[in-house]
């Protein structure tokens, strides 16, 4: 047998990594050699892992981050121009039939009840920016940026940006960002409310984990209900929303976590919530 055949085949690292510990799921985009640009299989896998984390009762908070110097540089334009990726002319018809945007990561992020923290380790451009905006909390490293370069590529924010940005920063600022396609520095994002915090790059994941642990320590049913009601409130009248809040409160008041919250407060000790 030749040496080439006897040598073990190299294993390709997964393009999306997943780990769970202490109530926190960490999902990591892992295509650093391509600045974590999104391929078709990568898109599907990211959605699958988000849904898996959302369904896992052990998970109370999710961190979305990436390896390398970029968070996500958008859809894979190299594959697209070669006719093999998302958005390529040869696949346009197939994509319109087979790529259901209701299953795409930004849509899944919006519909999830579990909170998601985006730890922005580098540039988030195009699709990567929309994905970051779809998270609930954004913590940026000092070298990160948001790049709304859609119109510079002849497209539009295709994955929620035109819906999210006006609600996050107001119509005029959203129009300025989208129509100019300019880059937003961490300081820009902080001033606009698009970033909750900016930290040194070396401290990004430790800070994201600290915030996630703080969230995970709270009653998970209450946290998830709060996120669900915030989402519903975006499209409800005040009267309808108050009614739905009251119904949700009645359900939570019957849980073991509610009783634990009251007892721990009276006993002046940290609560131990079980999600029941």
pLDDT attached to residue 77: 64
Q: CA-CA distance, 273 to 221, in Å (whole number)? A: 9
- pLDDT tens-digit readout, 211-260: 999 999 999 999 999 999 999 999 999 999 999 999 999 999 999 989 98
pLDDT attached to residue 7: 39
Average pLDDT for 181-200: 95
Average pLDDT for 190-214: 97
| Angle separating helix axes 220-233 and 238-252, nearest 10 degrees | 170
- pLDDT tens-digit readout, 67-119: 999 999 988 766 554 554 454 444 443 444 355 556 788 889 999 999 999 99
C-alpha 99: how far from its chain's center?
19
Average pLDDT for 18-23: 95
pLDDT attached to residue 1: 37
Q: CA-CA distance, 195 to 82, in Å (whole number)? A: 35
pLDDT attached to residue 151: 77
Average pLDDT for 6-27: 78
Q: Which residue has the tokens 């609930």?
A: 136
> Residue 172: exposed, middle, or buried by beta-carbon count in 10 A (0-12, 13-18, 19+)?
exposed
Confidence label for 5 from pLDDT (cuts 50, 70 and 90): very low
- pLDDT tens-digit readout, 136-181: 999 999 999 999 888 777 777 777 888 999 999 999 999 999 999 8
Q: Please state the pTM of the whole predicted model.
A: 0.86
pLDDT attached to residue 155: 75
Q: How many CA atoms lie within 13 A of 136 on its CB side?
A: 24
| Longest pairwise C-alpha distance within the chain | 76
The DSSP bridge partners found for residue 146 are 124, 184
Confidence label for 30 from pLDDT (cuts 50, 70 and 90): very high
pLDDT attached to residue 179: 92
Reduced to 3 states (helix: H, G, I; strand: E, B; else coil), residue 72 is strand
Check if the beta carbon of residue 198 is closer than 8 Å to that of residue 186: yes
Q: CA-CA distance, 105 to 204, in Å (whole number)? A: 22
Arithmetic mean of pLDDT over the chain: 86
Confidence label for 13 from pLDDT (cuts 50, 70 and 90): confident
Q: CA-CA distance, 264 to 219, in Å (whole number)? A: 12
Q: CA-CA distance, 139 to 198, in Å (whole number)? A: 6
Average pLDDT for 15-25: 95
Confidence label for 6 from pLDDT (cuts 50, 70 and 90): very low
Please provide the size of the chain in residues.
276
**Six token digits for residue 192:** 């606009």
């Amino acid at each position: 047998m030749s040496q080439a055949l006897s040598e073990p085949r190299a294993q390709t690292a997964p393009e999306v990594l997943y780990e769970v510990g202490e109530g926190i799921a960490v999902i990591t985009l892992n295509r650093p050699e391509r600045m974590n640009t999104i391929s078709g299989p990568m898109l599907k896998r990211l959605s699958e892992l988000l849904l898996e984390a959302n369904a896992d009762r052990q998970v109370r908070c999710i961190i979305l981050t990436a390896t390398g110097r970029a968070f996500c540089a958008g859809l894979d334009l190299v594959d697209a121009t070669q006719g093999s990726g998302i958005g390529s002319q040869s696949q346009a018809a197939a994509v319109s039939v087979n790529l259901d945007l209701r299953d795409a990561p930004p849509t899944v992020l919006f519909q999830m009840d579990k909170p998601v923290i985006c730890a922005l380790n580098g540039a988030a451009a195009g699709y990567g920016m929309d994905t970051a905006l779809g998270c609930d909390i954004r913590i940026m490293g000092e070298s990160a940026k948001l790049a709304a370069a859609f119109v510079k590529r002849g497209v539009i924010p295709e994955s929620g940006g035109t819906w999210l940005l006006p609600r996050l920063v107001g119509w005029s600022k959203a129009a300025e960002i989208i129509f100019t396609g300019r880059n937003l520095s961490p300081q820009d994002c902080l001033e606009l409310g698009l970033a909750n915090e900016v930290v040194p790059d070396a401290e990004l994941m430790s800070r994201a984990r600290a915030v996630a642990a703080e969230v995970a320590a709270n009653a998970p049913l209450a946290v998830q209900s709060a996120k669900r009601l915030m989402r519903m409130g975006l499209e409800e009248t005040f009267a309808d929303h108050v009614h739905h809040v009251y119904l949700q409160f009645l359900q939570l008041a019957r849980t073991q976590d509610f009783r634990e919250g009251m007892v721990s407060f009276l006993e002046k000790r940290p609560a131990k919530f079980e999600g029941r």
